[in-house]
Amino acid sequence: MKTVYVRTKTKDEARKRAEWLYMILRDCTPVIADLHTSKAQVVTESMVIKYVPENYTMDGIRCDIAIGFGQLGKIIATENTCDNLMDERELAKYIVDNETISENENIECRR
């Protein structure tokens, strides 16, 4: 399961952006997702997308993809930063692409 951290300015913005991403995934894509508003995260079958406010300390935290962290993102995600995914629509496209790839891998494993 991939972990994606997205940097936001405030905790309220983190919650709103998580809700917005969930609505896009629910209404416009075939991806099944769960929304955890208290944690400001969206969980799909193969990904966890967590929105992190600026005042949150990232000491010792690692993830697969860091978005919006600048130089700190290179440490958190070991050089795997994707600042082009800051928009929820682009992030939803990335999630859909990843979900279809993981579904295809599951089908191949069953054969």
Q: What is the pLDDT of residue 47?
A: 92
Q: What is the extent of the structural domain holding 19?
A: 2-102
Q: Which whole number is the average pLDDT over 107-111? A: 47
Residue 108 lies in a domain: no
Please count the structural domains in the chain.
1
Average pLDDT, whole number, for the chain? 85
Residue 33 CB burial class (10 angstroms; 0-12, 13-18, ≥19): buried
Residue 35 lies in a domain: yes
Residue 69 lies in a domain: yes
pLDDT tens profile 4-43? 999 999 999 999 999 999 999 999 988 999 999 999 999 9
Buried b (16+ CB within 10 A) or exposed e, 41-69: bbbbebbbbbbbeeeeebeeeebebbbbb
d(C-alpha 75, C-alpha 13), whole Å:
24
User: pLDDT band at residue 70, thresholds of 50, 70 and 90?
Assistant: confident
Residue 109 lies in a domain: no
Residue 110 lies in a domain: no
User: With pLDDT > 70 as the criterion, what percentage of the chain qualifies?
Assistant: 89
Please state the pTM of the whole predicted model.
Answer: 0.84
